[in-house]
Structure formats: structure tokens, C-alpha cells
């Protein structure tokens, strides 16, 4: 019978041969899942035999990871804003840099009480805002029913007051409904999409990634359509792609309904989040 330590070494080699970028931590995580323990538990149990049942579970996980399926889909969970969120192929895996969007929203619109997370996906942003603002009324919309089903499951666990809505951007909402709208829209250009790592390109939902030829198709729609749904002085806070800040600045400047933009850099010094304020009010600064 193979030992746990030997199984780990073989798993690391297999994932490395398959081109997985970080084979050791992934192998440790998957072996831990197969054993029903933690990564630390894998190390402490290195001399123990690996049961046939655990070996079979590990084999299934390794086969999927070697095919470059993201490890968080295999685990069925991803932590965001200290919340363990369910994820699968119906939604994008929340990224750490998207936490900057939450931080920015909390900073620019601290008095917001009517909030929409537009294109919610897993519901990560809406759930985080709901935990930070328990008194706020928060809606989360998505055009994809499958994604909305995942989001609703996460809301039931972490933020039951959030209301999930099937919607194409702000179409079903009345004028002036929201104080704050946040969004992590599709912003990857067609060329960039073809160059993404297999984990993203081949497994995460294409509709949540692709932003058209220049990556700005949905961002243009947001800047054009969101003002109607915002109250005067309300904010739009959205994530953008690397190198898109100048183009977004031009789009904002060409639309007289916005003040701004204000830009925030992520930990890699990439201009990652943009915030713009709808003209006509100063309520957020009172």
C-alpha cells in the first residue's frame, strides 16, 4: 500500500508534468481533501499508508487538475472577504484583487443604503458588502440563471437579506433606485482571452470574461446605462483590466453625467478599480 508521503511526491510530479503552475501546494490541497484533513495534516501523516478509498478520491482529483481544471472548482469553495463561498463552473472564481473593489465602495460611498451588485456571479461582492453594511438594502443581479443560482446559495449562507434578480444590467430597475452600483464586468479582450491560462480560458465561463474586441464592450454599456438607475450623487464602482484606465477615463470624460474618474491600484500596481460619481448631488459627503 502506498504511503501518504509517496503519494504526495507522485502527485507533485504528475501535476508538474501537466504544466500546473504550482504543483506542490495544489497536490497538498488535493491530497488533504482526499484524506479529509488539512495541508498540515498531510505532512504529519506522511508515514501512514494511503487507504484505497483515499487513493481513489485522490486519483479523481488529480486527473481533473492535470486537465487544468481550477483547484477551487475541485474543492467547490473559494474564500473572499473571509467568507467561504461555493464556486463551480457556472461562475468565475473570486480573485483577491476584487476585494479592492469592495474596499473602494465602502470608502467612496460610506452612507450608501441602496446598493446593486451588477453581474454578481458567485455573489462575492454583494455578500461582502452585506456583511459590512447590515442595514443596507442590497440587490445582486445577473443575466445568467445558473450564476444566480450559485449566488443565491451563497447569500442563504452568508447574507440572507440580499435579493437576487435576473437582469441585463439595470434594465428592470426604476430611475434613481440606487445610491451605489458595483460591478466586476467582463473586460478581457478577444486577443487576451485566447492567451489566458488554460484554467481560465477553458474552464471559467466565457460570458463572464469576454469584453469584446477591446475588452470595453460591457464597460461602455455600464457608463451609458447606469446613470439612469443611480440617484444624484450616487456612485458606480467597477473593476477594469490592466491597461484600460486611459480608455475608461476618455469614456467618462465624454459623458457629461459623470464626475471623475478616480482610480485605485491593486497590489501589483495595476490600475484596477475605477469609481465615478453621478452629477447632481453631494449626499455621500454630508
Q: What is the pLDDT of residue 208?
A: 96
Give the cell for residue 212.
469584446
Q: Give the pLDDT band (50/70/90) at residue 260.
A: confident
Q: 77-285 adopts what CATH topology?
A: Rossmann fold (3.40.50)
What would the mean pLDDT of 204-224 be, rounded to a whole number? 97
Q: What is the pLDDT of residue 137?
A: 97
Dihedral over alpha carbons 169, 173, 178, 180 (to 10 degrees): -10
**Considering the entire predicted model, what is its pTM?**
0.92
* Torsion over CA: 115, 173, 164, 118 (sign): negative
Task: In whole angstroms, give the CA distance from residue 261 to residue 282.
Answer: 16
Q: What is the pLDDT of residue 17?
A: 98
What would the mean pLDDT of 202-217 be, rounded to a whole number? 96
Residue 206: Cβ within 10 Å count: 13
Label each residue of the chain as H, E or C.
CCEHHHHHHHHHHHHHHCCCCCHHHHHHHHHHHHHCCCHHHHHHCCCCECCHHHHHHHHHHHHHHHCCCCHHHHHCEEEECCEEEECCCCCCCCCHHHHHHHHHHHHHCCCCCEEEEECCCCCHHHHHHHHHCCCCEEEEEECCHHHHHHHHHHHHHHCCCCEEEECCCCCCCCCCCEEEEEECCCCECHHHHHHCCHHHHCCCCHHHCECCCCCCHHHHHHHHHHHHHEEEEEEEEEECCCCCHHHHHHHHHCCCCEEEEEEEECCCCCEEEEEEEECCCCHHHC
Condensed to tens digits (0 to 9), the pLDDT of residues 38-79 reads: 999 999 999 999 999 999 999 999 999 999 999 999 999 999
pLDDT above 50: residue 283: no
Q: Give the pLDDT band (50/70/90) at residue 282.
A: low
What would the mean pLDDT of 81-87 be, rounded to a whole number? 97
Interacting residues of 99 by C-beta distance below 8 A, sequence separation 6+: 80, 81, 128
The residues facing 278 across adjacent strands are: 258
Q: What is the pLDDT of residue 284?
A: 42
Condensed to tens digits (0 to 9), the pLDDT of residues 105-127 reads: 999 999 999 999 999 999 999 99
Mean pLDDT over each residue of the chain, to the nearest integer: 95
Spans of all domains in the chain: 4-67, 77-285
Q: What is the pLDDT of residue 286?
A: 32
Q: Give the pLDDT band (50/70/90) at residue 281.
A: low
Condensed to tens digits (0 to 9), the pLDDT of residues 132-183 reads: 999 999 999 999 999 999 999 999 999 999 999 999 999 999 999 999 999 9
Locus of grid cell 482529483: 61
Task: In whole angstroms, give the CA distance from residue 225 to residue 230.
Answer: 10
Q: What is the pLDDT of residue 159?
A: 97
Amino acid at each position: 500500500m502506498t504511503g501518504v508521503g509517496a503519494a504526495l511526491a507522485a502527485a507533485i510530479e504528475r501535476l508538474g508534468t501537466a504544466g500546473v503552475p504550482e504543483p506542490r501546494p495544489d497536490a497538498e490541497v488535493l491530497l488533504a481533501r482526499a484524506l479529509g484533513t488539512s495541508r498540515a495534516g498531510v505532512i504529519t501523516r506522511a508515514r501512514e499508508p494511503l487507504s484505497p478509498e483515499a487513493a481513489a478520491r485522490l486519483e479523481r482529483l488529480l486527473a481533473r487538475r492535470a486537465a487544468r481544471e481550477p483547484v477551487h472548482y475541485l474543492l467547490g469553495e473559494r474564500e473572499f472577504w473571509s467568507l467561504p463561498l461555493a464556486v463551480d463552473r457556472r461562475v468565475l472564481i473570486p480573485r483577491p484583487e476584487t476585494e479592492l473593489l469592495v474596499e473602494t465602495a465602502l470608502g467612496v460611498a460610506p452612507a450608501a443604503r441602496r446598493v446593486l451588485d451588477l453581474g454578481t456571479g458567485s455573489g462575492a461582492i454583494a455578500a461582502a458588502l452585506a456583511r459590512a453594511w447590515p442595514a443596507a438594502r442590497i440587490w445582486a443581479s445577473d443575466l445568467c440563471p445558473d450564476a444566480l443560482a450559485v449566488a443565491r446559495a451563497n447569500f442563504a449562507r452568508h447574507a440572507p437579506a440580499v435579493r437576487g434578480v435576473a437582469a441585463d444590467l439595470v434594465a428592470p430597475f426604476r430611475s434613481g433606485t440606487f445610491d451605489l452600483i458595483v460591478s466586476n464586468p467582463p473586460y478581457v479582450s478577444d486577443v487576451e482571452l485566447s492567451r489566458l491560462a488554460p484554467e481560465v480560458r477553458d474552464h471559467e465561463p466565457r460570458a463572464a470574461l469576454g469584453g469584446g474586441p477591446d475588452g470595453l464592450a460591457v464597460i461602455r454599456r455600464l457608463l451609458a446605462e447606469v446613470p439612469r438607475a443611480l440617484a444624484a450623487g450616487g456612485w458606480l464602482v467597477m473593476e477594469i483590466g490592466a491597461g484600460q484606465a486611459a480608455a475608461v477615463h476618455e469614456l467618462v470624460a465624454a459623458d457629461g453625467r459623470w464626475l471623475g474618474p478616480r482610480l485605485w491600484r491593486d497590489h501589483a500596481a495595476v490600475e484596477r478599480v475605477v469609481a465615478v460619481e453621478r452629477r447632481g448631488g453631494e449626499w455621500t459627503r454630508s
